[in-house]
Amino acid sequence: MVGKYEGGCLCGAVRYVVEAEPINERICHCRLCQRAIGAAFNARLLFRIDDVTLVGRVETVHSSPSLKRGFCSRCGTTIFSKRESAGIMGITSGSLDDPSLFKPQLHMWTASKQPWVRFDDGLPQHPEAPPA
């Protein structure tokens, strides 16, 4: 059975639906994610861009040459990060209507994690990007 993931921004101006299983589900502790999300880490589900239906006005910013981040132009909620060259989009778990659907598989870029973050979930930890 294919999963269905729905969500959107705080004000409701942006909505999305994904009717596919995630490629992976990860927690990133890199400084770019920390700044973009405004929190200690980015918990995100990775999908193929073609599987995501997005409705509403989003603004984007390049946080690195190949990564574009999207947020609601009205309330500022970060919704996604996208690598168009790879055809993938990371949806923020906090923007899901039901964030409990997020099932993290690992922590990455833990070399940049905040010192007060403690891991007790038993998930694999990678100081930088995990192996391909």
- 45 in any annotated domain: yes
Which whole number is the average pLDDT over 17-45? 96
Q: Is the pLDDT of residue 130 over 60?
A: yes
Dist CA 28 CA 40 (whole Å): 9
Asked, for residue 64, whether it belongs to a domain, the answer is yes
Share of the chain above pLDDT 70, in %: 98
Contact by Cβ (8 Å): 63, 81:
yes
Kindly report, residue by residue over 35-78, the tens digit of the pLDDT: 999 999 999 999 999 999 999 999 999 998 999 999 999 999 99
What is the CATH number for 25? 3.90.1590.10
Q: Is residue 132 part of a domain?
A: no
Q: Is residue 97, in this structure, part of any structural domain at all?
A: yes
Number of domains in the chain: 1
Cα–Cα distances in angstroms (integers) from residue 9 to residues 30, 70, 97, in the given order: 23, 11, 9
Q: Is residue 69 part of a domain?
A: yes
* Residue 51 is assigned to a structural domain of this protein: yes
Taking the CB of residue 105, how many other CB atoms lie within 10 A of it? Answer: 13
Q: Above pLDDT 90, what percent of the chain? A: 94
Q: In which domain, by residue range, is 75 found?
A: 5-126
pLDDT score, position 83: 96
User: Would 131 be classed as within a structural domain?
Assistant: no
pLDDT confidence tier of residue 1, bands split at 50, 70 and 90: low
Record the tokens describing residue 59, joined without a space.
């603004």
